[in-house]
A and B are shown apart, each in its own frame.
Chain A
């Protein structure tokens, strides 16, 4: 296969007929060759499900590449940019397939009620110390409850369950990955500002939960 420069890739993919077809064919081959590496932690290339997933991903990636060709800014190799799109596509698809049958209720059981904060960190806690700590614990929990919206709380609990991907949590909350990220960023910022306003250092707040 001839190696194309970034400009050659752009030119060939924007062309028509055989020139474009050849470029697309080469790009498809590149994507298929890279997917075993991309997916290796989760799916072996000898797995019977691999081939159809790879084909699906390659197809979708080529479409996205053509659609977003003008967004390529030349800050990397063109092929790396394509691989990035393919990787996002592949992992999104894999996550979706893995999670679609899992019931949220099963997962969220027991996440709502935390265990009591262990007080054994203090070698000989005095009654005053225990009360102080319990009081701070109550305060921190209240602050968190006040600063988080219901949606934010649900999102955080869902993500706290081992392995739930952002897209899955987003889907269940009726939103998308970026919006979810922003939602949680907002929650973290509000909490940071509120704790500071209340004169509670984060180390103190963390201490309550250890």
Chain B
């Protein structure tokens, strides 16, 4: 599961269960932290290529690992990737 999603699910007090410590989610992200990571804009510049290649059945986790890694960490970029995926998917079916 996307790590930022887990971070974001650190629960606000309205629930009856105790809130999950944000530090826990931070530590989980630390585990997968790399020296070199792309920024959101750098990922955006590669997203068209990434999504098209993935739709063609290429193994983008292998071929574009920095983008894949960023999408695991960054919920906002993941949402944008999913939106693009929906658009391209709609094009294919018309």
Contacts and interface: CB of A to CB of B under 8 A. Distances in A.
Interface of A: 34, 37-40, 71, 75-77, 80-81, 83-84, 87-88, 90-91, 95, 107, 109-111, 114-115, 117, 140-141, 144, 156-157, 159-167, 177-178, 181-182, 185, 187-189, 191-192, 195, 202, 205-206, 209-210
Contacts of B76: 91, 95, 165-167, 177
Interface of B is mostly: helix
Interface of B: 4, 7-13, 18-19, 21-31, 33, 35, 37, 39-41, 44-49, 51-52, 74-76, 79-80, 83-84, 86-90
B23 A144 contact: yes
30 contacts: A38-B86, A75-B46, A75-B49, A80-B48, A80-B51, A81-B48, A83-B84, A83-B88, A87-B83, A88-B80, A90-B83, A91-B83, A95-B76, A107-B12, A111-B12, A111-B22, A115-B19, A141-B23, A156-B26, A159-B8, A160-B8, A160-B25, A161-B12, A166-B40, A166-B75, A166-B76, A181-B39, A189-B35, A192-B30, A195-B30
A87 B33 contact: no
Contacts of A177: 40-41, 76
A188 B25 CA distance: 11
Query: Which of A71, A75, A88, A160 counts the most chain B CB atoms within 10 A?
Result: A160
Contacts of B37: 181, 185
Given A37-B90, A181-B74, A189-B35, A76 B30 contact: no
Contacts of B39: 178, 181-182
Nearest to B38: A181
Contact of A188 (B10, B30, B83): B30
